Amino acid sequence: MSDIRVKICGLTRVDDVIAVAEAGAAYAGFVFFAKSPRAVSVAQARVLAVEAPVGLAKVALVVDAEDAFLDEITAAVPLDMLQLHGHESPERVAEIKRRYGLPVMKAVGISDASDVDQLDIYSKVADQLLVDAKPPKDAVLPGGNGLTFDWRLISARRWPVPWMLAGGLTPETVATAIAVTGVRQVDVSSGVESAPGVKEADLIRAFLTAAKSGRGAVPRL
């Protein structure tokens, strides 16, 4: 199970970025969505990205971002990937890939079997897929709501690009999620926090341990 790759999203502090790298995570996510309690400015994200240890992939999460904003982010922040977490069409995903020359991960929200077909569509244009829990209709945030979905919906599904599982994962549930879905990459945000945007090093280590060992871990806080 040690080949499981972990993304910690919603990072807002340099200490947390370093803790994520030291714990063995593969990706660090920065949220560029003003309504999120984990949102960072372009200037803040630049500091976080510059201070990130070598080898940690830096991912910018954006929601229906226009070119002007993406131009600003990519010009200022050294990034390795763009994560599109809004209602971007397949055509928009392809356009962003061409314009910025960065790998693009497209998030797709799942609540029932009818949503799963969207993954097939986006797998034709995105470099990676993020399979997340679909937010409630009245939700302010497109992700990071701490919600899960029925993992059995994707347990027998595979796509021609790498994919990542998100949605309410915690140190106690991630091993089960991996076992049910067969996923090799997982994403967590609220599940390793003491408050929105405030990550806890103990929880980060516990999550990585559980994901990579296949066994649940209860951290000592």
Q: Which of the residues are catalytic? A: 9, 132
Collapsed DSSP state (helix, strand, coil) of residue 32: strand
DSSP state of 174: H
d(CA 66, CA 183) in angstroms, rounded, equals 31
Integer CA distances (angstroms), 200 to 17, 23, 119, 163, 210, in order: 11, 12, 32, 26, 15
Closest CA to 20 of 147, 29, 221: 29
Is the Cβ–Cβ distance between 141 and 35 less than 8 Å? yes
DSSP state of 196: T
Is the Cβ–Cβ distance between 189 and 29 less than 8 Å? yes
DSSP 93-145: HHHHHHHH-S-EEEEEEESSGGGTHHHHHHTTT-SEEEEEEPPPTT-S-SS-S
